[in-house]
Amino acid sequence: MIDADPDTQEGPEAEPAADPAAGPAAGPTADTVGLERRSKRSIQTWKRAQNMQTVGLTEGAYVGRLEDFQFDLESHRVYGYRIKATGYFGKAGGVAARHLQLIGRDVAFVDTAASVEWGMTGRKAVEGRAWASAYRGTQAITRRGRALGAVQDFVLDSDGQHVTGILLHGDRLLPLDGRVHSGPAAVIAADDDVVVELSHEEDDAESPTWWARLGQALKMGGDKDEPGEP
């Protein structure tokens, strides 16, 4: 995410007149294209993003598939992604979340193929963090000890920097809005009211109305500001 430098912002000014000698204005860069895409705010489930083809934006080259991600249990910020190269014995690599530009409908973009560091052999455990693959199945309970179900999936923002919600078995959502604590052994919700039922009928799962309810529950509509940087 690219933020303007506040030290250089001195209020609105008139656009300078174009200099004919300067030649035609430059076209959109990769960064501006990425920002325009992210301005059309969307959300993504890890179920859909996992195994998604990943492309280096600078080279337009295929680098592998998203295989897993590691996130902070307290802030829910994503640290990085594990990427698997093509082929049954394809090598594994990692890319820091800051290099991920967009998780789209069909492909994910990293800023450049050189951002991927190859040679990962395993998923290293780090205190205070969790791998999505290992965190699936973690039980969610209320503070009073009532069982809510097991973690089934994760909701990510479209640029893949934060986990914004946890999906439980039974198609129920726990928005990560301060009322839910994700610990290493359990997910603890303040009370039953935190849980949002997403599917009203069996065939409603991941329909347009399901996605609308998900977006509304996470308060991530088009008028909502972007999440702040950690």
- In tens, the pLDDT along 64-109 reads 999 999 999 999 999 999 999 977 777 899 999 999 999 998 999 9
Identify the pLDDT of residue 12. 38
Question: Among 87, 96, 86, 84, which Cα is nearest to 121's?
Answer: 84
Rounded to an integer, the average pLDDT of 191-210 is: 77
Pairing of strands 187-189, 43-45: unpaired
Q: Tell me if 43 sits within 8 A of 153, measured CB to CB.
A: no
Domains detected in the chain: 38-118 (2.30.30.240), 133-218 (2.30.30.240)
Q: Is the pLDDT of residue 149 over 50?
A: yes
Q: What is the pLDDT of residue 46?
A: 95
- Whether the pTM exceeds 0.75: the reply is no
pLDDT confidence of residue 170:
87
Query: What is the structure's pLDDT at 207?
Result: 76
Structure tokens at 97: 């979340």
Stretch 205-221: mean pLDDT = 75
H/E element, 62: strand 61-72
Nearest 5°: the CA angle 151, 153, 156 is 125
Task: Please say if the pLDDT value at position 26 is more than 50.
Answer: no
- Sign of the Cα pseudo-torsion (139, 188, 217, 165, in order): negative
